[in-house]
Chains A and B, each alone.
Chain A
Amino acid sequence: MQSALDHTLTALADPTRRAILQRLSSGEARVTDLAQPFAMSLNAVSKHIRMLERARLVQRRRMGREHFLSFNPKPLDEAAAWIETQRALWTARLDTLEALLQAEDRAAAAARKQGSNRRKR
């Protein structure tokens, strides 16, 4: 079972789907109007739209027999939040690594100093 973020990323990993989102970001569109510019069957475009709906990036409303699709940016906010969390985690880990290595340097310097002090006597 894939997490919600998986669905978002899978949805975004295709150029046709990204183009669909780009079109919808400027406003609602009918399914048929949306499919028109693509050099593929309506069926193929519908498959892409279903993936976007599964990721909640696209929402559908019915008006009689017409279906209108709109863009929902919330899943992208979740992706952005993931990036920020990971960056914070990795920054903290690398800070710890730097502290670790500097402590090693100080210990080595102290040991060398002790050694040279002993030799001077």
Chain B
Amino acid sequence: MAGSAAVTARVTRRFSASAERVFDAWLDPAKAGTFLFATATGQMVRVEIDARVGGKFVFVDRRDGEDVPHTGEYLEINRPRRLVFSLAVEKYSQDIDRVAIDIVPLASGCELTLTHEMRPDWVEHRDRIQAGWGEILEGLAQTLG
């Protein structure tokens, strides 16, 4: 199927807290910085969250004196049911992954399913976008020059 990821990691977990509280933790810099890309031995030195569709995020974890930025963009924000964002960790990989969080409220608490897809077609797409911008800028330079 065109555009589908060949490799997906999926995790499901129940929480005693409500769907709203679990959802909000992902977009709250104070909370997200504690659980999202933090490591036991590292230090989360920077968290910026622009919580809107198209908004970007940056988490910088300092590990052994080296800063490791985790960056991405929010693609879907449907509180408290669904959150989708792209994710890149340039220090480790050229991939742009896609993470989707689906939350189902239960009688008590909620259940969260996290789907982490490697998106090779996104890497190709990114190259096509960059090529497209190159053409536009060249055309513009010729018009103005």
List chain A positions with a Cβ less than 8 A from chain B. 1-3, 5-6, 8-10, 12-13, 15, 79, 82-84, 86-87, 90-91, 93-98, 100-102, 104-105
Contact = CB atoms under 8 A, between A and B. Distances in A.
Interface stretch (B30-38, B49-57, B131-139): B30-38
A96 B118 CA distance: 24
A2 B114 contact: no
A13 B121 contact: yes
Contacts of A2: 94, 123
Interface string B10-24: 110101110001100
16 contacts: A1-B94, A3-B94, A3-B95, A6-B94, A6-B120, A10-B123, A12-B6, A13-B121, A79-B6, A82-B118, A87-B9, A93-B37, A97-B15, A98-B17, A102-B17, A105-B17
B124 interface: yes
Given A87-B9, A91-B11, A100-B31, 13 more contacts: A3-B95, A9-B5, A9-B120, A13-B5, A13-B6, A79-B6, A90-B9, A90-B114, A94-B112, A95-B13, A96-B38, A101-B15, A101-B21
Contacts of A91: 11, 13
Interface string B37-68: 11000000000000000000000000000000
Count chain B CB atoms within 10 A of each CB in A8, A15, A93 and give the residue with the most: A93
Contact of B8 (A15, A83, A98): A83
A9 B25 contact: no
B31 A10 contact: no
